Structure formats: C-alpha cells, structure tokens
C-alpha cells in the first residue's frame, strides 16, 4: 500500500489566496496526494477575553485581528475547492469546533482530520465520525486513555480511520520523535498508522517511511522566514520535492520481506562461485 502524502498548508497561507494557490501548486509539483487546511470558528475556539487581548500582527493589534486575518471564509473555501478540482488534487481540513465541521460538509471532501489538540473534544469526534469518511487522527499530546476513547468513537460509528503518530512541538527536536511509537500504536490498536511531522529537515520522515506508515503529513511553506507560528516547522519547495522523491524510493526499496534469488543475481552467482565448481572437479 502506497503512503498517502499530505501537504499541510494549515494557516501558512496567511489569509492570502494567492499564497494559498502557490502552496497548492508547490504540493502538486512535489507529488503530494492531498493538501490540508485548518478551519476555526474564532468565537467558538477562543474566549472573548483572549480575542480582546493585545497582539501585534500584520492585521492589527489584537488577538482577534490576527486570528481573523488568518481565517478563510466561505468564498475562499469555494475557491480552494474549485482550484483543487481544476488541478486534480484532493483537499480536506481539520475542524477545531463543531460549527467548522458542519461548515466543511458543504464541500463533501473525501477525508477528515482530527488535529492533536482536538482529539479530546468528544462531541467533535462524534460529529466527524457520523460522516463515515476516512479520518486521520493525530495523537500528539495524548494519553492512551484519550486515544482509546477516540478509537472507540470511530469504531462504534463504523467510520474508517487511521492514527497518526505526532509530537506537538513546533519545530520538534529529532530526539523527541520516538518513531517506535508507530509500531506501538499499530500493535495496540490493530489499525494503520501514519506520521505527522513537525521536525526541521527530512531524515526523521524518511525513517518513518521505512517503518511502514500508511500516511505522511508535513507542513509546507514558500519560505520558512515568512510570518506565522508554523513556518519554522515547515518544509520549503526544494525540500518537498526531495522528500517525496526519497519517500517513493524508500517505499519501493522496502519490498515484501520474502527471501528469493532475483533473476539478475543468477549469472552473478554463477560467475562468483565458478571457482567452487572448479575446486570440486579437481
């Protein structure tokens, strides 16, 4: 089974549709299967007190101005939907509240995503699971008890899902990756397991690919120096092409684990062992 490769645009578009389309183009050029966004109803996700508090940003001096500046509206998502269909790439989004999940239903995307931060929001999980779409569930910042509850919700709704091993630091230190959790989750929950990475560089993602992940998600950016909290944990265009090229090679190289002599080895074995035949004759 091929690894499903997801380019997480998230909020790295900075509320600008032209940047968003450039990021979609970059994902297509690199060879990703899908692009992903994040959708929030700001008044459901944040308190009034927090939204009124000060924050300097390109959009103003409050947290509300910054959050609203990063949020796409219905017309923006209609344009994303149109553009992705035109370019023949899947898109979907992680909703951070019930209103946002309901909002996303109008686009009838083929996939859903539970962000690590939202895995404890049981009402949201039930709302997602009732759609019956294949759902990627990130497991950053979670205990087994929390994962157990999420898995139970999706199983009882008969909704297909896979877990994604995630460490929710931005950027993640390589020594925190704990990639052996991929095998642990697979063994414990008897399901496919993907990897959602926030590290700088590509080596950890290559190692995850070699562990037999079913999906790989990385944040993407045009330039890591751009404004935004996720940019430093994102991969730039040249790195994305390198990532997908190498992961595709790794997938091919892993094989099926069955011992066999391949055709190309037969004449080489004959040549390298011919002195053994000569010795046995003499």
At 237, which CATH number? 3.20.20.70
| DSSP codes, 167-196 | ---SSBPGGG--TTHHHHHHHHH-S-EEEE
By the 8 A CB rule, do 222 and 22 touch? yes
pLDDT in tens, 101-112: 999 999 999 999
Q: Sorting pLDDT into bands at 50, 70 and 90, what band is 150?
A: very high
pLDDT of residue 13: 98
Q: Give the count of domains, the chain.
A: 1
Tell me how crowded residue 211 is: count the other CB atoms within 10 A of its CB.
Answer: 17
Rounded CA-CA distance 111/114 in Å is: 10
Reduced to 3 states (helix: H, G, I; strand: E, B; else coil), residue 222 is: coil
**Predicted pLDDT of residue 279:** 77
Work out the widest C-alpha separation in the chain, in whole angstroms.
93
Q: What is the mean pLDDT of residues 42-68?
A: 97
pLDDT over threshold 90, residue 269: yes
What are the tens digits of pLDDT across the range 88-98? 999 999 999 99
**Matching residue, tokens 């630091």:** 169
Domain that residue 174 falls in: 4-281
Confidence of residue 152 (pLDDT cuts 50, 70, 90): very high
Could you read off the pLDDT of 13-36 as tens digits, one per residue? 999 999 999 999 999 999 999 999
- Mean pLDDT (whole number) for 76-87: 98
Q: Identify the pLDDT of residue 281.
A: 77
Residue 68, CA distances (Å) to 23, 44, 56, 257, 261 in order: 20, 13, 13, 51, 61
Percent of the chain at pLDDT > 90 equals: 98
Backbone φ and ψ for 72, nearest 5 degrees, come out as -85, 145
**Range 198-204 average pLDDT:** 96
What residue spans of 71-143 are helical by DSSP H? 74-87, 98-104, 122-129
């Amino acid at each position: 089974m091929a690894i499903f490769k997801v380019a997480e645009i998230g909020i790295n578009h900075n509320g600008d549709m032209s940047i968003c389309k450039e990021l979609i183009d970059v994902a297509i050029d690199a060879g990703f299967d899908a692009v992903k966004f994040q959708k929030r109803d700001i008044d459901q996700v944040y308190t009034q007190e927090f939204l009124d508090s000060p924050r300097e940003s390109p959009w103003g001096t409050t947290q509300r101005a910054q959050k609203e500046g990063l949020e796409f509206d219905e017309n923006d998502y209609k344009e994303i939907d149109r553009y992705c269909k035109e370019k023949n790439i899947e898109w979907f989004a992680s909703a951070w509240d019930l209103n946002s999940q309901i909002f996303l239903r109008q686009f009838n995307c083929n996939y859903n995503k539970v962000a690590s931060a939202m895995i404890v929001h049981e009402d949201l999980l039930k709302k997602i699971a009732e759609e019956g779409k294949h759902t990627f569930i990130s497991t950053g910042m979670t205990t087994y008890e929390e994962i157990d509850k999420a898995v139970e919700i999706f199983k009882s709704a008969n909704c297909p899902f896979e877990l994604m091993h995630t460490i929710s630091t931005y950027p993640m230190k390589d020594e925190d990756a704990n990639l052996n959790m991929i095998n642990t989750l697979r063994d414990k929950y008897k399901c496919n397991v993907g990897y959602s990475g926030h590290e700088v560089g590509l080596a950890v993602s290559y190692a995850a690919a070699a562990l037999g992940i079913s999906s790989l998600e990385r944040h993407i950016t045009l330039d890591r120096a751009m404004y935004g909290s996720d940019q430093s944990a994102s991969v730039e265009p040249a790195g994305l092409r390198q990532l997908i090229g190498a992961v595709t090679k790794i997938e091919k190289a892993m094989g099926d684990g069955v011992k066999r002599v391949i055709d190309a080895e037969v004449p080489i074995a004959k040549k390298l062992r011919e002195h053994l035949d000569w010795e046995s004759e003499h």
